Amino acid sequence: MNIHNLRVFFAVIITVFFSCVSVFASQTDERIESSAQKSYVFKTYLQDDSVKVQSKDGVVTLVGTVDEESHKSLAQETVASLPGVKSVDNQLELKGDQPPENSDRWLSMKVKGALLFNRYVSAVKTQVFVNDGIVTLKGEADNQAQKDLTGEYAKDVEGIKDVKNEMTLAKIEPKTQESLSDKVDDASITAQVKMAFLSHHSTSAFKTGVDTNNGVVTLSGDVSTGAGKDMATKVANDVNGVKNVVNNMNVVNVLLKN
């Protein structure tokens, strides 16, 4: 093979190689966009929002509008957890006027958000009213345990001064529904766990790594107390779709660390 033919041969090889790379990248981008739209988070929490996912070589751009500030973070966390995603540029905009931070309306949204991801409470059946930082819960709970848990989660939201739990109990306890564990994708679970941590005063300051594989959540990072580590496990375990929680967080004495 002479030098000319050799050059032609290598040119063909290089062209074929980059063509394959381009096709693979395109297929990855299509899979990312499709997986995001089919995810539990997008179909459940963001179904009334207008969120478009655009992926180019694994770099994802989110465009459109959402009803609440928390939905921006929820969409970003979900997409960021999908395989093949390198980074996320969140350009989502809020629809309408948003309540001032720490206002009663803002706190009401925070409480509703805290209840939203918990499989053991009913965010749909729970009515949340906030006046001067004091929450009043109304609606119907399936049982006393659910009523108590709803009150605990509401009280743990940062900025809430007190909770008046006026929820009534259902006359007939409903049958146990089919578990969502096999229906919620890993990216949605990771996003829900991260958002659940942010919504609770007891876990909001944690810098917790969250990884999900087939519904099993692994937590990493540092925490100042054993009680804090236990709380992180509880909050994560209560999230929709979680099968099990492996807590690898390190209990670090803050004073010694400094």
Nearest alpha-carbon partner for 211 in 97, 81, 86? 81
Q: What's the pLDDT score for residue 98?
A: 81
Domain's final residue, options 94, 126, 145: 94
The answer to whether residues 25 and 96 touch, using CB atoms and an 8 Å cutoff, is: no
Residue 250 has pLDDT above 80, yes or no: yes
The average pLDDT across 205-226 equals: 91
The average pLDDT across 12-39 equals: 72
Q: What's the pLDDT score for residue 170?
A: 86
Q: Which domain holds residue 125?
A: 104-169
The average pLDDT across 195-220 equals: 89
Co-location of 76 and 12 in the same domain: yes
Q: How many domains does the chain have?
A: 3
Residue 20 has pLDDT above 60, yes or no: no
Q: Is residue 174 part of a domain?
A: no
Residue 1 has pLDDT above 60, yes or no: no
**How buried is 199 (Cβ within 10 angstroms: 0-12 exposed, 13-18 middle, 19+ buried)?**
buried
Q: What's the pLDDT score for residue 205?
A: 73
Q: Is residue 180 part of a domain?
A: no
Residue 165's CATH number: 3.30.1340
Range of lowest pLDDT (38-52, 137-151, 181-195): 181-195
Q: What's the pLDDT score for residue 258?
A: 45
Residue identified by tokens 């290089």 is 14
Co-location of 232 and 194 in the same domain: yes
Q: What's the pLDDT score for residue 180?
A: 47
Report the mean per-residue pLDDT for the chain. Answer: 86
H-only helix segments in the chain: 3-38, 40-44, 69-80, 104-116, 144-155, 186-199, 226-237, 254-257
Interhelix angle 186-199/104-116, nearest 10 degrees: 140
Q: Is residue 126 part of a domain?
A: yes
Q: Is residue 51 part of a domain?
A: yes
Nearest alpha-carbon partner for 108 in 74, 78, 142, 138? 138
If one compares 182 and 208, the residue with the highest pLDDT of the two is 208
If one compares 233 and 24, the residue with the highest pLDDT of the two is 233
Co-location of 222 and 145 in the same domain: no
The average pLDDT across 117-136 equals: 91
Q: Which of 6-10, 148-152, 196-200 has the highest mean pLDDT?
A: 148-152
Residue 61: phi, psi to the nearest 5?
Answer: -115, 130
Co-location of 27 and 57 in the same domain: yes
If one compares 45 and 124, the residue with the highest pLDDT of the two is 45
Q: What's the pLDDT score for residue 31?
A: 93
Domain's final residue, options 34, 64, 94: 94
Query: pLDDT-based confidence at 133, cuts 50/70/90?
Result: very high
Domain's final residue, options 94, 120, 136: 94
Nearest alpha-carbon partner for 226 in 206, 252, 193? 252
Q: What's the pLDDT score for residue 255?
A: 46
DSSP state of 239: B
Residue 67's CATH number: 3.30.1340.30
Co-location of 88 and 20 in the same domain: yes
Q: How far apart are CA 78 and CA 52, in angstroms?
A: 13
List, for residues 35-84, the tens digit of each pLDDT value: 999 999 999 999 999 999 999 999 999 999 998 888 999 999 999 999 99
Instruction: Count the Cβ atoms, other than its own, within 10 Å of residue 206.
Output: 21
DSSP states along 100-158 = PTTSHHHHHHHHHHHHHTBTTS-TTTEEEEEETTEEEEEEEESSHHHHHHHHHHHHTST
List, for residues 231-244, the tens digit of each pLDDT value: 999 999 999 999 99
- Who's near 50: CB < 8 A, 6+ residues apart? 64, 65, 66
Nearest-5° Cα angle at 49, 44 to 50: 125
Q: Is residue 214 part of a domain?
A: yes
- Who's near 6: CB < 8 A, 6+ residues apart? none
Q: Is residue 244 part of a domain?
A: yes
Q: Is residue 237 part of a domain?
A: yes
Residue 249's CATH number: 3.30.300.130
Q: Is residue 50 part of a domain?
A: yes
